[in-house]
Structure 1
Amino acid sequence: MTSDVLPPDFKIISSLRYDPALAVIGKQRAAKSSSDPLSTPYYLLPYHQERLRNAATCFSWGKALAFLKQDTNQFVKFLDAFIPDDTKPWRLRIVMDSMGTCEVEVNPTTSMDPLNLLLPSDTNPQATIWHVYIDSECINPSVFTTHKTTARHFYTAARFRSGISSLLEQAEVLLVNPAGEIMEGSITTPYFRRRNAAGEEGGPVWITPPLSSGGNAGTTRQYALAEGFCTERIIAATDLVDGEECWLSNSVRGFIRGKIVLMGSNDPHT
């Protein structure tokens, strides 16, 4: 796709958490890999660079791609200039246009247990559980669902249909493609516990929708796959059960417990 078919104010984006607590985690993991995605206070920063590069390539934005090819250490120095206080956590929104202009929006965010930024385990059970709804309408997969951009009206509409009125609300809605497959969440990647397929060894495993279902190539999704927390498998919306437990993740909040709420069944919005 070329930029001349896009709205004039169209931009590619990536949101992430700055957290000084990540410096401690990075030191503990340093011996594991020199290219560890948790090696800076910017949560999964190498994956965000990759996500932005992939989007710039998709839209044929050569100038943006040239800027994004700087190494992670250089990018850290660029982002550091926007941090008001490096002792506090912040929510960053990296915004790039076709000319390679990079803006960084920085807003306060709440402190949290840094364990929530690591893969889910019994050591970080989390008391908070989000209600997870299933969108009542289907959304056609496109470059706008594959890449994170300012074209987000369909996510907003899905949240509205599910009765979610604020980003502060502890609730999520899962997008569904015309084939009836779960694509992703409006602001998170979902994970579900399933038995292995016939002929496969082992107990139940965590799965997440494949990109072929049309969802976003999220950074926490990439982290969960790379670390072996989950595998990819097509998930039919009709297979989800009311009250079913799941996990959600994004690069500002880390990993969050969720519970499927089918509309009309223990639904706080009805």
Structure 2
Amino acid sequence: MAYASTARRGLSCSDDQEDIPMQDFEIYERIDRPRRLPDEVAVALTKAIEGGQLQPGDRLPTEAVLSKKFGVARTVIREAISLLKYDGVVDSRRGVGTFITETTNRSAFRISPGCFEKRKQIIKLLQLRAEVQAGASALAAGTRTAEQMQALEELFAEIERLDALGPDDALEQRVDTELEFYRRITEASDNEYYVEVIGMIEGNIQSNLRSAFLKNAAASEFGPSILEEHRAVRDALAIQDASLARSATRLRFERAAERLAAREDFL
């Protein structure tokens, strides 16, 4: 789902001005950090529009009101609106306010410069992880315990189950389970430095890039061929083949980076 952006900046209205009364829909939930806040606000507003809670022609509350409702700074609201404006979901009318646009006026899909930059960052992190995770997997093949292998088998089975449900029904669970799978492999390496570096990579994704990471996963990280990449890593660990674990893991993350770079909407 592309983030929309339509609010033309208004205007002579002050940020503190009272807005037209509007229901306190469930979209006004406080947002927990460390997810990137402008993306989360944009997603919440887009879902409200798609769900019919906000209709074409409705005026959005002011920055001050949205800031209070979401529990974030006005700069966060401003950036979220700008994401929505870029895709034509909202529009600003000078001196009046920001309004939801008609569906026919919205772009079908456009990748914003901000999202483009995030994808480049994700590719770099995947390339880094390909090398770091490969080393951790190779060590884990020789040091993992039977109990750790059992936990990996269970996680892989869950990845298969969630993958079968598809991105519409199980996107976040599928992505988070995959992250847990490789995190457990790293822990099985019995090397705290690998754990620390992998934690840094994951932390960067969760704090700054999660929305783009999830959208990419929905588009290109589901299906039989992707499962085969994970299965090869699992199998190498099961037979405790360090060389095979290294190569299978490196291939998995290199291919993920290549798929993202090759997407038509990324070029």
Name the TM-score, length of structure 2 as normaliser. 0.28
Query: Which has a greater percent of strand?
Result: 1
Structure number with the bigger relative contact order (C-alpha 8 A, sep ≥ 6) is 2
